[in-house]
Amino acid sequence: MRKFGKIIKGSFVIIITVLLLSTLYIRFSRYTDTIIYKTNDVGYDTLKTVFTYEEYYFKMDDHAKIHGVLFKTDTIHSKGTIFHYAGKGMHLQTSLKYYKTILSRGFQVFSFERRDFGKSTGSADNSRILKEDALFVFDEIIKHEDVIDKPIIIWGQSLGGAFAVMNAAERQENIRGLIVEGTFSSFPDIGKVYANALHLENFKWIVPLLMNNDFPAEKEIKRITKPVLIIHSTVDTEVPYVLGKKLYEASNKSNTEFWKIQGKHIRGIFDYEDEYIKKIEKMITPNAN
């Protein structure tokens, strides 16, 4: 009986050790980063649009090239620049429909594609590098003659909201405000929602141990003192409403507004067009009627 007990005890120790080592391997190999940013080689050859634009390729130290585009308004002078961080599967060609209303109201829009997506090159397997890319591109484009000395609002949708919160926290001296829609509180939180991608739907508790959290939105948002607008649909089926609400609860209430809407994931700019633009304009000119 004692021998059987030792075997059971030894087996338990082996299982725990294997689980621990496997968890550490997944965590430090950044396996989940690859899953998060994987885009199945989605791209396009030429940007097709009726909008006026300037195209850029930002050369990174490791020879990767980040593709970005500044879409310009047809008015003589833009009211300001909306720096857009798109959702997971949204490259610039698919993002164009979101810009139509904004451009028609006198704002210009800048956006770029992360590594290994759209027309950008490089490997998107490390969120720390993607963070460095984002800040580098932001620092470069705000020097542009059509951007410098004009108001800048950072706008993030879904996955892009995590980047937007980070960027706003790191460069808030350069911006007028932050808008995020359909965004989650942290990668571990959204990871539990999509645990099936890791085949862990019955073990959601382990997901936070596997995932790196280089974009801790609910922590970063506390640092932001500029105006913040958090938009979330109560019937969002891709990023649950509770995660948008959790992000708001972590924010500074004195400078943050939570706008509860209805409709599908990140459809606010279409379903609430006039009100959406008015909130952008109010952020640019706080005292405007």
Structural domain boundaries in the chain: 2-284
pLDDT tens per residue, range 20-37: 555 554 554 566 667 777
pLDDT band of 207, cuts 50, 70, 90: low
Residue 92: per-residue pLDDT: 92
Distance CA 251, CA 245 (A): 10
Paired strand residues for 84: 111, 155
**Cα 42 to Cα 118: distance, rounded to the nearest angstrom:** 6
Give the tens place of pLDDT for each residue, 247-276.
999 999 999 999 999 999 999 999 999 999
The model's confidence at residue 176, banded by pLDDT at 50, 70 and 90, is very high
Give the model's confidence band at 215: pLDDT under 50 very low, under 70 low, under 90 confident, else very high: confident
Q: Give the fold, CATH level 3, of 2-284.
A: Rossmann fold (3.40.50)
Q: Return the structure tokens found at 258.
A: 């939570």
- Average pLDDT score over residue span 176-204: 79
Q: What is the mean pLDDT of residues 142-146?
A: 94
Rounded Cα distance, 119 and 144, in Å: 21
| Higher pLDDT pick, 101 / 29 | 101
pLDDT tens digit string along 30-59? 666 677 777 756 667 889 999 999 999 999
- The alpha carbon torsion through 183, 246, 276, 180 (nearest 10 deg) reads -40
pLDDT category at 226 given cuts 50, 70, 90 is very high
- Torsions phi, psi for 211 (to 5 deg): -100, 140
pLDDT of residue 25: 45
The region of weakest confidence among 170-174, 212-216, 271-275 is 212-216
Q: Kindly tell me if the per-residue pLDDT of 77 is higher than 90.
A: no
Least confident of 96-100, 150-154, 282-286: 282-286
Tokens of 159: 């996955």
- Predicted confidence at residue 285, as pLDDT, reads 80
* pLDDT for 125: 84
Pure H helices in 111-267: 127-141, 159-170, 187-193, 207-210, 217-220, 241-250
Task: Give residue 144's identity as a one-letter amino acid code.
Answer: H
- The answer, yes or no, to whether residue 2 has pLDDT greater than 70, is no
Backbone angles phi, psi at 67, to 5 degrees: -90, 125
Closest CA to 246 of 190, 163, 179: 190
Between CA 70 and CA 51 the distance in angstroms is 10
Q: Is 57 left (phi over 0), alpha (psi -120 to 50) or beta?
A: beta
